[in-house]
Structure 1
Amino acid sequence: DEALTSLEADPAIGAIVLTGDGDRAFGTGSDIKEFPGLLADGTVVSTKLGPENETFTKFANFPKPTVAAIEGYALGGGMELAAGADIIVVAENSKFGVPEINLGAIPGSGGSVRITRRIGIGRASELFLLGDMIDAQQALAWGYANHVKPKGEVLEHAQKLAARLASAPKQAVCAAKQALRYGMYLPEEQAIAKLLDVLDVLSRTQDLHEG
């Protein structure tokens, strides 16, 4: 949360890239060893999932453009977190899934909302109910991923995309992102009304007058 707040406030930051530590995995979700204790005292939501959802939602609603760079596995919370990015770049060898159903649970970090909105209810149902993994090409075909790159080239490509986004008119890029979110989350009439509000604000900015 603090890192996102700092990045949002920094005028020198025009876009961000989210990546994992190394090429083995972007993120594989929760450590299941944590759960027995949390379940025993009834604090799994208040202690873990609540704060985690706050962070994931803050990333999904980050006002500046975001690019996720995925190498290796993106499972459970890893797949849920990346779903909040504007653009997702993945390696050819990447694997994706939400296998919680195999443990008698369901994904609890916003994936039922963000993954579903990204790939549609039918494909999300297959992922969530069967708990199977999909590969990079299937993630691309389903609309989860935007770009598939060879292993080792993902971060560089993501950084190039972020640089392009950061060099574009900042207020216009942020306005476009905001309008897209309204279109995804709101009924049509409300989304269009919000779009006009965004355009009204944008029309008074230096970006549009200089463009």
Structure 2
Amino acid sequence: MGSIQNPVGRGPRDPLEPTRRVDPVSEDKRNRHNRPQKPNSGPPDEKFGIFAFLLQAFNQLVEFVLEKSGSFKSSETQANKNLQALKSLFEILKIEDRSQDLQFLGELSTIWRQILEDSLHFKNDFISPLFKKLINNIQRYPENLPHTFGYYLSEYADQKWIPFPYMELIQTIHTEHTKNPTSSLLNEWTSIIDEIALLLKPE
């Protein structure tokens, strides 16, 4: 048994010894405050929703581009067909006077109106100027008449009667070609059509 001089266990606290008490709860709060915080990336459902929205928007953009590309190619193909039909009619007119052929004149007017519509779809820097050149040359011929060749072509498509000035212009164009084929208007117009066709030809 221990004596009074040597007690068992720790003796009385020295009143001069500084007191240091650690609160476990406060210590844990301080450690959590000093710990680096993870960035708030949002709930998993929210992240998945954003990703799905972006994916859908991207797919719609791709579909739109492909649709426009296909539509443009389709327009080019149809325009080329119409140009070749116009060229065929001009080639016939080089050989024969069709000024009295009402069916021929009706077909020529119908194809011309389709050519005018086709010209609106081209923004290509190479094709568009040639289209405009072809249209302007035909629209403004001849310059000394109140109504030009282009006017009659545009105004009398699908009509059951053909005005006499229109028929005269057809005859004049044919006659001019027979006199000087290499520099005739028909030869010039068909050459422009050939240039456009080369640019429209698929690679």
TM-score (norm: length of structure 1): 0.27
More strand by share: 1
More helix by share: 2
